[in-house]
Amino acid sequence: MSGEFVTLTYNLDAQIGESSACATALLCGVKANFETVGLDINGKFSNCASSFKARVDSLIDWAQHEGMANIIRTQILGHFFEDKNFKLRHFFKGKATGLVTNTRVTHATPAAAYAHSASRYWEDDAKIPPLSRRSCKDIARQLVEDEPGRNINVST
């Protein structure tokens, strides 16, 4: 193994990639449907109910939780590794996490690091359809209230 990898970041249901599904592929290791964030193939665009069982963990989750070390040990961004010495477990265990972005932190690309949303456009509750607001949190609320977002170190 030379240490070089190619990652394809196309969408599952579209010929052209867009930032939310491509960021999900890069940061979560799974291909995603067009305009969804942090969801696997079962997450359907703008379908709140489809997001509940489609959520996938990201690199931020893996870095924050010791319990996720087994996932890191076996798969990173879709590539499988054997690490019998648990070097990756110790590398990722308990790391401080943060985001660096030149756009809104709730924008589709950085949101894939911490959010799970059936629509990249659900950045605030005004953009979620009224019937879905009780069951689906907007991306900003997920950053503040849910893991791993609430554990991300923020500085100004």
Query: Which positions are catalytic?
Result: 19
109 is in an annotated binding site: yes
Calculate Rg over the CA atoms of the chain.
16
Please tell me whether 106 is known to bind a ligand: no
DSSP string, 23-92: HHHHHHSS---TT-BSB-TT--TT-GGGGTT-B---HHHHHH-GGGHHHHHHEETTEE---TT-HHHHHH
Distance CA 150, CA 15 (A): 34
Q: Is the peptide bond before 148 cis (omega within 30 degrees of 0)?
A: yes
Neighbours of 42 (CB within 10 A): 15
Token pair for residue 31? 């291909």
Do residues 99 and 32 lie in contact, with contact meaning Cβ atoms separated by under 8 Å?
A: no
Residue ranges at the known binding site for Mg(2+):
107, 109
